[in-house]
Amino acid sequence: MTARQRNTVRSILVTVFATAFLALFLMPFLYMILTSLKTNAQMTMIGAPIWPARNPTWVYNGPTSGTYTVQVAKGGVPVDQEINLGDYVGKTLDIFTVPLESGKKDLALLKGFQKGSVFIDPANVAAGPIAWNGGYYKALPRAWVLSPTWHNYVEMWDAIKYPRLLGNTAWYAFSTTIGVLLSCILVAFGFSRFRFPGRDFLFLVLISVMFLPGTVTIVPTYTFFTKIGWVGTWLPLIVPAFFANPYDTFMLRQYFMTLPRELDESAMLDGAGPLRILWDIILPQSWPAVVAVTIFHVVWAWNDYFGPLVYLARNMDALPVSVALARFNGMFGQRPELIQAGALLTLIIPLFIFVIAQRFFIQGIVITGVDK
């Protein structure tokens, strides 16, 4: 085998492995989509397919009279069952695939029992009822057809007043993102461009905060916000975002340090001050890092559950979608299709933002960890 052939085989194997891994990774997401489009009846049916489907039905409009007696096993013992077709005129009957001596046929169910059932052939109504004593009728296969239930999204949308929750979540994500960008950019610029006594020590203290669990500070911060009357409002969630967090500050500082200092010195010779250098020199070259920080924080704020749960518990109208969905899941625990529909709608906006800004996001992550 030549080197070119080995490279081709290697590329094919890598592609196949990557495709299989991606398919495995996306299976929960695909299951979420399929479940959100099912009916509640399908979720409880025996032998129902994984994809959204419905069982074909048939409306009986045959003869309005005619009484038949068939022998069917009700409790394991054959008994005579009287069937009056006039009782079924205009009724919707379920279709099952029934194994008969002549082969499998799609028949409409008239009466079902645990050991036997009575069917009728929609293609040959004149033949009358057909007795089948092969077991429980619900265990029979059905002729499923694709039928997505889009109304699940409408029902979920109305049940939890989704537009209001979406507005609350968007406001939380937008306002805190502005605070994070303003504060973290300024602090990262100071650590990366200025030399002052104790700079390295202060930066070490800032980084150390990353290792401090949030649960350690929840009691004192909640007590403080309670005493100043902020609990029940957005202030305990939004105001702290305007005081730089260590993770985003570290990421921006690492990116700023990859930019040549000669650019700053050239701007200083032209009379530019620190803020002018930041605005005209640093930020235009730092869009990948800024976009990465923005995406990180938007996704975090969109999914934040603990903070809004603690500080907005008294204000039900201000709850974001993360907390409201948890309450919704408790109320509609027997409706998994609605729960999955709500989760999917909540996921769409962050996923859309990530797809749009994917190029800048990946570039910011890669360059931040590379020292030019």
Amino acid, single-letter form, for residue 61:
N
Evaluate if pTM is beyond 0.75: no
What is the bridge-based pairing of β-strands 78-84 and 117-120? unpaired
Q: What is the rounded distance in angstroms from the CA atom of residue 214 to the CA atom of residue 38?
A: 39
Alpha helices in the chain (DSSP H): 3-36, 40-44, 151-159, 162-193, 199-208, 214-227, 235-238, 246-256, 261-269, 274-277, 287-303, 306-311, 321-331, 336-356, 358-368
Q: Which CATH superfamily is domain 153-368 in?
A: MetI-like (1.10.3720.10)
pLDDT string in tens for the chain (372-residue length): 677 777 788 888 888 888 888 888 888 888 888 999 998 888 877 778 888 988 888 898 877 677 888 888 776 678 888 888 888 888 888 888 888 888 888 898 988 887 888 898 888 888 888 888 888 888 888 878 888 999 989 988 888 888 888 889 999 999 999 999 999 999 999 888 888 888 888 888 888 888 888 778 888 999 999 999 899 889 999 999 999 888 899 889 888 888 888 877 787 877 778 888 888 888 888 888 888 888 889 989 998 988 899 898 888 888 898 888 888 887 777 888 888 888 888 888 888 877 776 666 565 555 554 444
Measured torsion, CA atoms of residues 235, 237, 239, 243, in degrees rounded to the nearest 10: 170
What is the bridge-based pairing of β-strands 117-120 and 103-112? antiparallel
Cα→Cα distances 287→14, 161, 190, 191, 217, Å? 33, 36, 18, 19, 33
* Cα 54 from chain centroid (whole Å): 24
What are the residue boundaries of the structural domains of the chain, listed by start? 56-143, 153-368
